[in-house]
């Protein structure tokens, strides 16, 4: 009887194992994210010289976050996320070859303690100097006939810009505003009828900004976040009035002077001589921009800069 009971116990045990075993699971097949689901034991990692090498070298690639600040010259400057190496994920990337490869390092970003939202109202002239990106600011209150060509050039180069649009012009050119928006560009506020903002009363300032916001929102379904005062004219009250509408006042750090109708070579020399990390390039829908925009984009990219909207340029993300 003893051998019989042992046989029964063993049979039951085998049956439980068979029922419980998942035949569909293969730890060496990629999971839904495309990565392997094999989990490396911590003790194995700790004893692997490669893991220790990554851990040791990770500090060389680490950068602390930079807080947003009010600069004496450039006024409000956005912060920049810090970066540090994700040691475990980097190890997973390099484990197959078994050697350290900095191109396979995996990073994670950590936000600064102080962001632009934490700062008092102040104008913005540029992005963070640690960010190899520039932004195109296209102020629109005339030059309607040149906008389709500009949009085509931007589309060819997969570049998004920020168009600051006058309210009165937007009412008269609804389809063009929709075209700009539908192509993924950011639309900002350029006041209603191009006034000298610093000479207006507080109520008139508010009217210029809020009326334009209402028009743009009615056309695009989105309320502008950025305000560019016409001709770059502003005072503290203009900036504060925009801030009361949850808007940032934006100027520029590089002027293409396209409104003077320069030759492409003159405009290019000016831009190439003044371009910098975090630059904001001012332009308008003009013949000079239509003629020189292609070369300008190519030149800027060759210098290692990415080109993006203000939403991206002024974000703390790297």
Instruction: Answer yes or no: do 100 and 166 share one domain.
Output: no
Mean per-residue pLDDT pooled into runs of 10, the chain (318 residues): 50 50 45 47 77 93 96 97 95 93 95 96 98 98 98 98 98 98 98 98 98 98 98 98 98 97 96 97 98 98 98 96
The dihedral built from the CA positions of residue 266, 307, 138 and 210, taken in this order, carries a sign that is negative
Residues 214 and 302 in one domain: yes
Query: Is 242 found in the same domain as 298?
Result: yes
178 and 273 together in one domain: yes
Q: Return the pLDDT at 47.
A: 82
From the list 163, 157, 165, 170, the residue with the least C-alpha distance to 136 is 163
pTM (2 d.p.): 0.82
Instruction: Calculate ∠ Cα 203-209-210, nearest 5°.
Output: 85
| 164 and 105 both lie in a single domain | no
Residue 6 lies in a domain: no
Q: What is the pLDDT of residue 109?
A: 95
Instruction: Mark whether 197 and 53 lie in a shared domain.
Output: no
Residue 10: inside a domain: no
Bridging pattern class, strands 254-255 and 280-283: parallel
Q: Give domain status of residue 89, yes or no.
A: yes
Lookup result for tokens 């396209």: 258
Spatial distance between the Cα atoms of 238 and 234, rounded to a whole number of angstroms = 6
Residues 146 and 84 in one domain: no
Is residue 2 domain-resident? no
The residue segments making up the domain with residue 47 are: 42-61+80-113
The domain that holds 275 is classified in CATH as 3.20.20.370
Position 14 scores a pLDDT of 56
Tell me the C-alpha distance between 309 and 283, whole Å: 14
Residue 85 confidence (pLDDT):
95
Domain for residue 120, yes or no? no
Rg of the chain (C-alpha set): 28
Task: Kindly report the number of other CB atoms within 10 A of residue 3's CB atom.
Answer: 7
Classify burial at 243, counting beta carbons within 10 Å of its beta carbon; exposed 0-12, middle 13-18, buried 19 or more. Answer: middle
Please count the structural domains in the chain. 2
Same domain, 160 and 232: yes
The verdict on 195 and 300 lying in the same domain is yes
Looking at the fold, whether 170 and 255 belong to one and the same domain comes out as yes
Same domain? 103 vs 219: no
């Amino acid at each position: 009887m003893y051998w019989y009971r042992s046989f029964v116990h063993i049979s039951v045990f085998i049956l439980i194992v068979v029922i419980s075993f998942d035949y569909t699971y293969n730890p060496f097949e990629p999971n839904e994210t495309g990565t392997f689901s094999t989990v490396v034991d911590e003790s194995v990692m700790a004893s692997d010289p490669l893991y220790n090498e990554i851990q040791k070298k990770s500090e060389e690639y680490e950068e602390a976050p930079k807080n947003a600040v009010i600069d004496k010259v450039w006024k409000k400057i956005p912060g920049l996320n810090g970066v540090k190496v994700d040691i475990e994920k980097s190890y997973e990337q390099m484990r197959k070859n078994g050697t350290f490869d900095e191109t396979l390092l995996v990073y994670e970003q950590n936000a600064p303690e102080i962001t632009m939202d934490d700062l008092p109202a102040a104008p913005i002239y540029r992005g963070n100097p640690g960010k190899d990106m520039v932004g195109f600011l296209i102020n629109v209150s005339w030059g309607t006939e040149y906008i389709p060509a500009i949009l085509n050039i931007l589309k060819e180069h997969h570049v998004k810009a920020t168009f600051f649009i006058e309210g009165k012009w937007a009412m008269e050119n609804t389809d063009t505003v929709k075209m700009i928006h539908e192509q993924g560009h950011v639309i900002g506020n350029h006041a209603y009828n191009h006034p000298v903002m610093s000479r207006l009363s507080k109520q008139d300032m508010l009217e210029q900004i809020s009326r334009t916001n209402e028009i743009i929102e009615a056309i695009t379904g989105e309320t502008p976040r950025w305000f560019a005062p016409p001709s770059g004219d502003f005072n503290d009250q203009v900036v504060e009035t925009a801030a009361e509408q949850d808007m940032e006042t934006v100027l520029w750090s590089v002027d293409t002077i396209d409104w003077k109708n320069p030759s492409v070579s003159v405009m290019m020399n000016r831009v190439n001589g003044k371009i910098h990390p975090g630059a904001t390039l001012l332009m308008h829908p003009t013949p000079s921009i239509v003629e020189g925009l292609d070369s300008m984009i190519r030149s800027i990219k060759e210098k290692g800069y990415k080109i993006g909207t203000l939403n991206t340029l002024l974000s703390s993300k790297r």
